């Protein structure tokens, strides 16, 4: 049963693809995720009871693929359509969705998975010492749902780590457990045998990372500090996770770039049961209603158990409403740049210079001018993309070739370089198209190369047109720190507003996701590259990379505040985020225009401030039920809540009334403009006592008026709660989207909630 596809969300080789759904014929067997609910007479207390009960829905032994405990009231099973019809007529059946899997459409080899730039411990901001010192993440377990792990990397050394906390119940499936230690405390595989109905999965497959993605994300979240980290000599520094004292548990659910949802759920189920505090998921599929999205259902279960879930916002930006993983119980993470460039500079024969990026900078890079040629000049259709075969019969020997960005998932940027090289080219210049703007990626190309921005690309192409014998050179410049603007939004980072719940502002937050250096199982770059001794790292990009940064921040907060709920941790992260870049200017997008909240969410994460937010907006698990009843039918809500819910007996609330740390209000076109919307919030004091906060409103656009009542909140106790109301009056005409903020300001804290007002 082929369905939609899910992919890992690292930007390159992991292209986000939607497969065509294939309608199965009646007797074709496929995997379905089936939601069931007990009849009153039936109570399944233990996991074994549940499994037996689930089996009563199935025609024969061997059909059950995964029996879920925490992530669904239900199971994954292999069934024909006809058999599913029988199951759906049984008492207790609620709904079923076909399993969705995901296939990467690239022809990469592991070497080609090496993407671009510098390591997380870069600069001061992301070094372990700057956000928590010796205690960063201590006592907290981060579960990473991904491609497995390369356990022998020093990023998973347990030097100085205490043993896992007593609550840990997980397992290590490497060689009888000998490879796990007090850092990497668990590692298991949850990949069902897709074509074998005997469902022999799990124990027998060690959770080895054959891809690199899982090793990279796990070490980004909680890797140990490794000095002298670099990739092909670039990005040299100390590589360390954001919460270097946290424990890591790895759940391998993807054999390659394809991850079955049924397996993802099994991994999340185990992570909850094992005692993980934070779950990091750099995987995503298309946006669908939450009750039809098993991962949304499963993470709801995690949230109910107090487990924080951080998920990738997607790599389909800059398109509007491309954000995925957008349920309010998830932290939805966007991606932005850091202040580091792995620079190669293009010098043209007319004296102009343009800075670009490439990870591979051989010492013998061309230092003289070479003839410069535009690949599209060959006249072949789509030759400008330098796909395999496109340069056949076009003489590029000894020349630097300009290859356009893009051209489809099979023409990765590294393949373009390989095509140029095999045609005898001396180098490659890779200019952005307009949508990619100023975002450039430092990747492990196989020849001297430079990925340049759109504006540079226009100038380079104009120069080629302007002269009979254009020439250029590519100068290796090495790793440059302190580049500006930073952070800036990456073009690929998916944008809001959320299709599924426009009344919740998504994404929530942005973190480093461009050219991120972290552990990798093997050396990257061309096979001719110098072999470096020591541990291997790679630099890659995507919301896959920003997500584990935020998982690490959540672990860091959780270790300081063990009793905070997932919603309180999210509130702390969002209300303390930076809305300016390191130069003090508004955070810019890939076009160097001020980025709106649909790109940045609440802003760029500030880990130090997030640990001491002053106030939090908390949400109890039951509060989400009223919110869900505002969106869906009782049966749909029952799937998500994993128990019968009667929405007629629940106080349903509109989306904007959920006690979320940001505010999103949508006015219908025909709204009576003298009628305001009242948004209620409850702030909980987690800072000093007594304390007094004053309301401030930042709305630059006068088409919307925002007021806060009362204007002062006085707290006399820890965890004391105070209600307030934000009144939003729409104005006449004007902008379609107006964005600003409500801030509660005390002597020591500023608690900022972004406010986004849209007009249909
Ligand atoms: C299914 O399992 C069998 C036996 O364990 C194995 O030989 C086969 O390769 C597996 N198939 C897939 C697609 O993993
Ligand atoms: C399925 O797996 C079983 C053992 O787990 C094996 O005996 C059988 O041959 C496999 N079937 C297929 C079609 O791979
Ligand atoms: C990924 O692994 C699955 C299961 O082994 C396999 O069926 C699929 O073809 C693989 N996909 C790719 C792109 O290699
Ligand atoms: C963005 O939208 C355009 C126009 O609808 C489409 O051609 C393009 O494929 C989209 N990009 C992504 C990354 O989805
Ligand atoms: C990409 O390559 C795969 C596998 O070789 C092929 O099935 C697919 O059609 C190709 N896609 C495009 C857009 O060329
Ligand atoms: C191009 O295609 C040919 C034949 O399919 C293959 O042998 C070669 O490795 C490919 N080259 C690149 C750079 O992918
Ligand atoms: C270069 O010349 C070609 C052909 O005349 C034209 O299509 C293209 O727009 C020109 N490019 C620039 C950047 O001027
Ligand atoms: C749902 O609740 C309403 C109001 O309490 C009640 O009238 C109705 O019978 C309930 N429906 C079910 C299916 O329990
Ligand atoms: C808009 O609301 C105001 C105040 O409630 C009311 O007086 C007025 O009649 C309404 N206008 C329309 C067109 O509904």
Host domain of residue 690: 662-759
Q: How many CB atoms lie within 10 A of CB 405?
A: 22
Q: Cα-flanking dihedrals φ and ψ of residue 222, to 5°?
A: -150, 25
- With bands split at pLDDT 50, 70 and 90, how would you rate the model's confidence at 136? confident
pLDDT digits (tens, 9 = 90+) for 376-392: 998 888 899 999 999 99
Same structural domain, 700 and 557: no
Does any domain span residue 573? yes
Which of residues 98, 123, 146 is at a domain's end?
98
Mean pLDDT of the chain: 88
Whichever domain contains 705, its CATH number is: 2.60.40.2310
Same structural domain, 464 and 506: no
> Quick check: 284 and 311 in contact, CB under 8 A?
yes
**pLDDT of the residue at 383:** 94
Q: Which residue has its alpha carbon closest to ligand 1 atom 9?
A: 193
Ligand 9 atom at shortest distance from the alpha carbon of 673: 1
Does any domain span residue 693? yes
CB 408 near ligand 5, within 6 Å: yes
pLDDT digits (tens, 9 = 90+) for 617-645: 999 999 999 999 999 999 999 999 999 99
Ligand 9 atom at shortest distance from the alpha carbon of 672: 1
- With bands split at pLDDT 50, 70 and 90, how would you rate the model's confidence at 42? low
Ligand nearest to the CA of 197: 2
- With bands split at pLDDT 50, 70 and 90, how would you rate the model's confidence at 9? low
Question: What separation in angstroms does the CA of 327 have from each of 99, 523, 552?
Answer: 20, 37, 20
Q: How many domains does the chain have?
A: 4
- Token representation of residue 637: 């809500």
Residue 451 has pLDDT above 70, yes or no: yes
Same structural domain, 361 and 457: yes
CB 40 near ligand 8, within 6 Å: no
Same structural domain, 380 and 334: no
Whichever domain contains 83, its CATH number is: 3.30.70.80
- With bands split at pLDDT 50, 70 and 90, how would you rate the model's confidence at 107? very low
CB 670 near ligand 9, within 6 Å: no
Instruction: Average the pLDDT over 484-508 and give the result.
Output: 96
Which of residues 567, 585, 603 is at a domain's end?
585
Distance (angstroms) between ligand 7 centre and the Cα of 465 equals 6
- Token representation of residue 484: 């500006």
Q: Which residue has its alpha carbon closest to ligand 7 atom 5?
A: 465
Distance (angstroms) between ligand 6 centre and the Cα of 428 equals 18
Same structural domain, 321 and 398: no
Does any domain span residue 518? yes
Does any domain span residue 602? no
Same structural domain, 308 and 446: no
Same structural domain, 331 and 345: no
pLDDT digits (tens, 9 = 90+) for 745-754: 999 999 999 9
Same structural domain, 319 and 352: no
**pLDDT of the residue at 487:** 94
For β-strands 64-67 and 615-616, DSSP reports them as: unpaired
CB 410 near ligand 5, within 6 Å: yes
Distance (angstroms) between ligand 6 centre and the Cα of 4 equals 29
Highest average pLDDT, of 116-125, 366-375, 652-661, comes from 652-661
Distance (angstroms) between ligand 1 centre and the Cα of 196 equals 6
Residue 394 has pLDDT above 80, yes or no: yes
Instruction: Average the pLDDT over 21-40 and give the result.
Output: 75
Q: Which residue has its alpha carbon closest to ligand 4 atom 2?
A: 319
* Ligand 7 pocket mutation pick from 350, 461, 462, 468 by most atoms within 8 angstroms of CB: 461
Residue 133 has pLDDT above 80, yes or no: no
Helix (H, G, I), strand (E, B) or coil at 187: strand
Give the closest residue to 137 by CA, choosing from 108, 170, 165.
165
pLDDT digits (tens, 9 = 90+) for 171-207: 998 876 568 999 999 999 998 854 344 444 434 578 9
pTM, two decimals, is: 0.91
Same structural domain, 424 and 544: no
Does any domain span residue 123? no
pLDDT digits (tens, 9 = 90+) for 234-286: 999 889 999 999 999 999 999 888 899 999 999 999 999 999 999 999 999 88
pLDDT digits (tens, 9 = 90+) for 317-328: 999 999 999 999
Question: What separation in angstroms does the CA of 723 have from each of 328, 504, 580, 625, 716?
Answer: 20, 19, 29, 20, 14
Instruction: Average the pLDDT over 418-447 and give the result.
Output: 96
**pLDDT of the residue at 114:** 27
Contacts 24+ apart (CB under 8 A), 121-127: 121/225, 121/229, 121/237, 121/238, 121/239, 121/240, 122/235, 122/237, 122/338, 122/339, 122/340, 122/481, 122/517, 123/338, 123/339, 123/340, 123/481, 126/242, 126/338, 126/512, 126/549, 127/238, 127/240
CB 675 near ligand 9, within 6 Å: yes
- With bands split at pLDDT 50, 70 and 90, how would you rate the model's confidence at 132? very low
C-alpha to C-alpha distance for 138 and 145, rounded to whole angstroms: 20
Q: Cα-flanking dihedrals φ and ψ of residue 468, to 5°?
A: -75, -35
Ligand nearest to the CA of 389: 6
Instruction: Average the pLDDT over 720-731 and give the result.
Output: 94
**pLDDT of the residue at 591:** 98
Residues with CB under 6 A from ligand 4: 316, 319
Distance (angstroms) between ligand 9 centre and the Cα of 674 equals 7
Give the range among 127-136, 304-313, 414-423, 441-450 with minimum mean pLDDT: 127-136
Instruction: Average the pLDDT over 27-46 and give the result.
Output: 82
Give the closest residue to 714 by CA, choosing from 695, 697, 741.
695
CB 415 near ligand 6, within 6 Å: yes
Which of residues 420, 451, 481 is at a domain's end?
481
Does any domain span residue 495? yes
C-alpha to C-alpha distance for 266 and 190, rounded to whole angstroms: 6
Same structural domain, 327 and 345: no
Does any domain span residue 141? yes
Peptide bond into 147 cis (omega under 30): no
**pLDDT of the residue at 10:** 62
Whichever domain contains 307, its CATH number is: 3.40.50.200
pLDDT digits (tens, 9 = 90+) for 560-591: 999 999 999 999 999 999 999 999 999 999 99
Same structural domain, 346 and 471: yes
> Quick check: 394 and 419 in contact, CB under 8 A?
no
Distance (angstroms) between ligand 9 centre and the Cα of 271 equals 53
* Ligand 4 pocket mutation pick from 18, 317, 319 by most atoms within 8 angstroms of CB: 319
Same structural domain, 751 and 667: yes
Q: How many CA atoms lie within 13 A of 738 on its CB side?
A: 22
> Quick check: 544 and 312 in contact, CB under 8 A?
yes
In the 8-state DSSP scheme, what is residue 457? H
Distance (angstroms) between ligand 9 centre and the Cα of 679 equals 20
Residue 668 CB-density burial (10 A; 0-12 exposed, 13-18 middle, 19+ buried) = exposed
**pLDDT of the residue at 177:** 58
Ligand nearest to the CA of 672: 9
Distance (angstroms) between ligand 4 centre and the Cα of 418 equals 26
Q: Which residues have a catalytic role annotated? A: 146, 213, 544
CB 105 near ligand 5, within 6 Å: yes
Calculate what percentage of the chain has a pLDDT beyond 70. Answer: 89
Ligand 3 atom at shortest distance from the alpha carbon of 194: 4
Does any domain span residue 314? yes
CB 673 near ligand 3, within 6 Å: no
Give the range among 45-59, 103-117, 690-704 with minimum mean pLDDT: 103-117
**pLDDT of the residue at 196:** 40
Ligand 4 atom at shortest distance from the alpha carbon of 492: 13
């Amino acid at each position: 049963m082929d369905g939609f596809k899910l992919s890992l969300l690292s930007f390159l080789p992991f292209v986000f693809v939607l497969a065509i759904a294939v309608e199965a014929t009646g007797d074709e067997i496929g995997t379905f995720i089936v939601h069931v609910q007990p009849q009153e007479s039936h109570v399944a207390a233990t996991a074994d009871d549940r499994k037996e009960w689930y089996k009563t829905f199935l025609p024969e032994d061997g059909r059950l693929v995964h029996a879920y405990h925490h992530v669904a009231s239900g199971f994954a099973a292999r069934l024909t359509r006809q058999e599913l019809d029988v199951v759906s007529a049984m008492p207790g059946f609620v709904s079923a969705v076909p399993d969705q899997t995901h296939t990467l459409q690239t022809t990469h080899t592991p070497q080609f998975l090496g993407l671009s730039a510098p390591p997380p411990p870069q600069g001061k901001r992301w070094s372990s010492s700057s956000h928590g010192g010796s205690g960063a993440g201590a006592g907290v377990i981060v579960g990473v749902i991904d491609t497995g792990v390369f356990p022998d990397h020093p990023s998973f050394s347990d030097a100085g780590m205490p043993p896992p906390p007593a609550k840990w119940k997980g397992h290590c499936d490497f060689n009888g457990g000998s490879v796990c230690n007090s850092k990497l405390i668990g590692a298991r595989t949850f990949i069902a045998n897709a074509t074998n109905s005997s469902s022999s999965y799990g124990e027998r497959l060690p959770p080895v990372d054959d891809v690199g993605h899982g090793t990279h994300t796990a070490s980004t979240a909680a890797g140990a500090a490794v000095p002298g980290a670099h990739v092909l000599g670039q990005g040299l520094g100390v590589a360390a996770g954001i919460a270097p004292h946290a424990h890591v548990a790895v759940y391998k659910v993807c054999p390659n770039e394809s991850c079955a949802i049924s397996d993802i759920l099994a991994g999340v189920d185990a992570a909850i049961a094992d005692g993980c505090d934070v779950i990091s998921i750099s995987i995503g599929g298309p946006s669908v209603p939450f009750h039809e999205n098993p991962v949304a259902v499963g993470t709801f279960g995690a949230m109910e158990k107090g487990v924080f879930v951080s998920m990738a916002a997607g790599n389909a930006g800059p398109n509007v409403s491309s954000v995925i993983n957008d349920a309010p119980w998830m932290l939805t993470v966007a991606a932005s740049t850091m202040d580091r460039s792995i620079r190669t500079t293009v010098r043209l024969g007319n004296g102009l210079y343009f800075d670009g990026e490439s990870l591979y900078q051989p010492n013998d890079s061309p230092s003289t001018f070479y003839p410069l040629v535009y690949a599209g000049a060959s006249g072949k259709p789509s030759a400008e993309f330098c796909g395999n075969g496109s340069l056949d019969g076009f003489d590029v020997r000894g020349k630097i070739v300009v290859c356009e960005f893009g051209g489809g998932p099979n023409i990765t940027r590294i393949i373009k370089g390989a095509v140029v090289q095999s045609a005898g080219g001396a180098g490659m210049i890779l200019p952005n198209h307009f949508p990619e703007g100023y975002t450039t990626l430092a990747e492990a190309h196989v020849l001297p190369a430079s990925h340049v921005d759109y504006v540079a690309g226009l100038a380079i192409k104009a120069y080629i047109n302007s002269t009979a014998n254009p020439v250029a050179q590519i100068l290796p410049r090495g790793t440059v720190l302190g580049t500006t603007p930073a952070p800036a939004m990456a073009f690929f980072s998916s944008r809001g507003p959320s299709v599924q719940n426009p009344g919740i502002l998504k994404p929530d937050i942005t973190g480093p996701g461009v050219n991120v250096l972290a552990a990798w199982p093997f050396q990257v770059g061309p096979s001719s590259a110098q072999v470096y001794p020591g541990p291997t790292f790679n630099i890659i990009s995507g919301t896959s990379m920003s997500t584990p940064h935020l998982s690490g921040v959540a672990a860091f907060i959780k270790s300081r505040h063990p009793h905070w709920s997932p919603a309180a941790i999210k509130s702390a992260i969002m209300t303390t985020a930076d809305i300016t870049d390191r130069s003090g200017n508004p955070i810019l997008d890939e076009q160097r225009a001020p980025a709106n909240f649909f790109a940045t969410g609440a802003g760029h994460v500030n880990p130090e401030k997030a640990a001491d937010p002053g106030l939090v907006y908390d949400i109890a698990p039951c509060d989400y039920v009223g919110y869900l009843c505002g969106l869906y039918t009782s049966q749909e809500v029952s799937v998500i809540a994993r128990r019968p819910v009667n929405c007629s007996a629940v106080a349903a609330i509109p989306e904007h009334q959920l006690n979320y740390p940001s505010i999103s209000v949508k006015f219908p076109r025909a709204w009576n403009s003298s009628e305001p919307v009242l948004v209620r919030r409850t702030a909980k004091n987690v800072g000093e006592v007594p304390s007094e906060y004053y309301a401030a409103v930042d709305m630059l656009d006068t088409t919307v008026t925002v007021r806060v009542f009362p204007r002062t909140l006085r707290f006399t106790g820890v965890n004391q709660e105070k209600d307030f109301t934000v009144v939003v009056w729409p104005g006449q005409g004007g902008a379609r989207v107006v964005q600003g903020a409500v801030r509660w300001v005390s002597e020591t804290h500023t608690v900022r909630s972004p406010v986004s007002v849209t007009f249909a």
